[in-house]
Amino acid sequence: MHSKGIIHRDIKPENILYSLGTCKLADFGWSVHTPSDRRKTLCGTLDYLPPEMLTGIHDNYYDKRIDIWSIGILTFEFCAGKAPFESDRDI
């Protein structure tokens, strides 16, 4: 996908399909074809967004590495049973 210049931008458990030992990525509604590999649109699911998309680091520009961030969040969530940035406290 990345080798073809596509960034998914919304990798989360609901968008992963599993059947007969095969995982497939679904819901390409937020995906974009970007040969320049540089985007600025704020989109996706909040729990899986990388810091550079939220904080203004690098003037809010991001690239395909945001998908890698989301996969890291997913891995933590699958191993720990909860999202890494959840709080037990009410704000």
10 is catalytic: yes
Note the pLDDT tens digit of each residue in 23-33: 999 999 989 99
Report in angstroms the alpha-carbon separations of 66 from 4, 52, 88. 16, 9, 26
2-80 topology per CATH: Transferase(Phosphotransferase); domain 1 (1.10.510)
Give me the residue label for tokens 């890291």: 72
Partners of 32 in the β-ladder: 7
Note the pLDDT tens digit of each residue in 65-84: 899 999 999 999 999 998 88
Closest CA to 64 of 76, 54, 50, 75: 50
In the chain, the amino acid numbered 20 is: L
Answer whether 0.85 is exceeded by the pTM.
no
Partners of 25 in the β-ladder: 16
Ramachandran angles phi, psi of 66, nearest 5°: -65, -30
**Active-site residue, from 10, 47, 59, 67:** 10
